[in-house]
Structure 1
Amino acid sequence: MEQKVKWSEFIKSAAGIEGWIDDDIPEVLFVGRSNVGKSSFINALTNNKKLAKISSTPGKTRLLNFFDINKGLFRIVDAPGYGYAKVNGKMKEQFSDMMNQYMETRPNLKLVVMLVDLRHKPTTDDLGMYKYLKYYQLPVVVVGTKLDKLKQNEIKKNEKMIRDTLELKPSDGFIKISNTDKRNVNEVYDEICKRLEVNPEV
């Protein structure tokens, strides 16, 4: 498989507006439940196993993490996983404030990639996140993870279940991927570039 991301680098972490990067490079926000495989997907997409830290403890990411893709083509912004039960109320509130501030006021934010687990019906947290994104009219690509865990006859049925539960809009993309064998990972990169109107072949 041709590797489309030729360069990726962690830039910084930030909790609030004072830590954001002041330029006009487009940003793609990655959101998803704590155990959906978000860090693994970022590493598969960039072919860099050490880029996003994968923890055995879900919910470890506490900040927004900024990654440069192809030397300024765009940035990935990795958000804290949501829906992790062991995170206390005050911390959830801080997460919520940070996410609200970023999603509502960040001019660089051009697209949200929302990860869901293909094996399961979207949770209440998934549904809440999707509705929130739609309320603020943010363009979304839904990425279904763990494709390799499904039998062939389950794939279409589970995609329909997810589409119906979230009430996906026709304008929202839906791509099924596997972090393990990297199936369709390049499709996500191509879709991001198409939405951002940037050249994927840099």
Structure 2
Amino acid sequence: MSWLHSRRIRFLGASVVLFFALFATLRIAFLIGFADHAALAAERTGTILQTLSIGLRFDLRLALLLMLPVALAAALPRINLLRCKLTRVLTSLYLAIATLVVLLVYVLDFGHYSYLGQRLSATAFRFVGNVDISTRMVWESYPVVWITLGWLAVSAAFITLLFKVASATLDRPQYRPIRFASAATGIAVATVLGLLGMLGRVDNIN
């Protein structure tokens, strides 16, 4: 199983875990901050765990989808993450932008729920119709500067962590040459695990 020492597979796996951990943490933070704790106390434990598992499966799907372009860049024959500096730079840029955008959506979701008691959806675009009023409302209702600084700080910390993972996995010396059969096995296993993660289950697959 020499494919387990693949630098690209280790980088992809570690990055998926990091994104999933980030999204799961934000989900728990939302639950702690906005859930009706009295109503939760009255619910059955099984119902709560089932609901939480649905959310965590969504978080895993999101993490896998975000890393899909990176996986494609890692699989390129001659211009992959290990051999082409431009591909590495573009991948790093993509991860940075994706992190900023996703965390911004979470910030907007938290703010939207705090103000209206509803999760962020397409209906939020109605606020774009009158930018002046919406901007003034947001500025008067929230500590915009502190929220922005917090968003940038968390984004910067997470991006730095991703880059450190990339350096620790992609830049380390190869353990030993990986044979074609072992590499093919690793790709197949990673693909199957990714598809199962997208589906969110391992049974009743039609």
* More helix per residue: 2
Q: Which entry has the higher C-alpha Rg, 1 or 2?
A: 2
* More strand per residue: 1
Q: TM-score, normalised by structure 2?
A: 0.21
- Structure with more contact order per residue of length (Cα contacts < 8 Å, sep ≥ 6): 2
